[in-house]
Amino acid sequence: MRVLLEKACELLSQGEVVALPTETVYGLAASLRHPNAIENIFALKNRPANNPLIIHVSHYEQIYPYAQSIPPYFVKLAQHFWPGPLTLVLPIQPATIPNTVRAGLTTAAFRIPQHPLSQAVIKQVGPVVMPSANLSGRPSATQASRVEEDFGTAFPVLDGGGCTCGLESTILYFIDNQWEIVRLGSLAPEQFQPILGYQPVIRQETNQAKPLCPGQLYRHYAPQAKLLLDNKASPESIGYVLGFSDRQYPNCKIFSLGKSDNPEQVAENLYDTLRSLDDAKIQCIWVDSDFPQKGLWLTISERLKRASYPSSII
């Protein structure tokens, strides 16, 4: 059910879970003060317990009581990119944050969302945890109606319209005296160069049993349709193409991501287009992956790869 701002705040304060809009994707929010609500998020999403949650706050100074230490450039990153699609992983005092939130780690992830409705909720309710509002492994929801597809029309959703970024936040982790990207997201790696004086490397996470942050399980963001990324088959032999509006694919039905020279548009459309494949009951689709491996395209490529993994890999 669609709820207004005051009702969303009331439900969260009572220990309920509510779907909120952000600039990245819709999230399932629970107050950090309500451990039972946090546990309910894992049950609702069928989310693995080893997958930590991101804590959303309204000002970076709210993080200080939780932090064990503040890494270099934290304030500069916060002041430059927040509110916005950046998550920072910090060493914390474990007793200050429930174990379920941090998945037993001695770090926690923090972000300040940009969407005015989620900001207003957090200012009233206080910090919330908020993973994406979708069943675990499915494409994230960028419209309120997509949240209802996964959780039913009786589930409380604060409708904030479409998400303008369309991809999750970029996650930075401070390790070995430098910031590293542990999840590609809506901010491209080169955007951090002016602030840090270097472009953070992209960390390749290999420990699936204990991921450092959300979104690192192998198969993720996946529709039911099989995505063909290797392009060994011809698009004509498949008949369906996940591609671009400014390219021609003869004799194929096209599911357009947008223009091939506009990664921001493609990012905004990606998850909703993946979900539309299931709407159309597509079983298999050829993916046009002929785009640059740089900037925001890196994130788009990574999401498509994870979405294409076999369902036996989780």
pLDDT tens, position by position, 228-268? 997 788 999 999 999 999 999 999 999 999 999 999 999 99
Mean of the pLDDT values across residues 87-92?
97
Buried b vs exposed e over 180-219: b needs ≥16 C-beta within 10 Å? bbbbbbbbbbebbeeeeeeebeebebeeeeebbbbbbbeb
Annotated ligand binding at 311? The verdict is: no
46-81 residue pLDDT tens:
999 999 999 999 999 999 999 999 999 999 999 999
The answer to whether the CB of 204 falls within 8 A of the CB of 290 is no
CB atoms within 10 A of CB 254: 17
Confidence band for 214, pLDDT divided at 50, 70 and 90 = confident
Is 140 a known ligand-binding residue?
yes
pLDDT of amino acid 309: 86
User: Is 107 annotated as belonging to a binding site?
Assistant: yes
Q: Summarize the confidence of residues 137-153 as an average pLDDT.
A: 97
The answer to whether the CB of 267 falls within 8 A of the CB of 300 is yes
**115 labelled as ligand-binding?**
no
Q: Can you give the pLDDT at residue 233?
A: 87
Q: Give the domain ranges of the chain.
A: 2-196, 226-308
Q: What tokens were used for 126?
A: 């206080």
Percentage, residues of the chain above pLDDT 70: 95
**Residue 122 burial (10 A CB sphere; 0-12, 13-18, 19+):** buried
What's the residue count for the chain? Answer: 314
Question: Is the predicted pLDDT of residue 209 greater than 80, yes or no?
Answer: no
* pLDDT number for residue 257: 99
Cα–chain center distance at 78: 19
Residue 216 is predicted with a pLDDT of 61
What average pLDDT does the segment 131-157 reach? 97
CATH architecture of 2-196: Alpha-Beta Complex (3.90)
Q: pTM of the entire structure?
A: 0.95
Flag whether 56 is marked binding.
yes
Beta bridge partners of 180: 173
Q: Is 118 annotated as contributing to ligand binding?
A: no
**How much is the average pLDDT of 144-170?**
98
Strand locations in 185-252, DSSP E? 226-228, 240-243
**Residue 51 annotated as part of some ligand binding site:** yes
Residue range 226-308, CATH number: 3.40.50.11030
For residue 23, what is the DSSP state? S
> Is residue 99 annotated as involved in ligand binding?
no
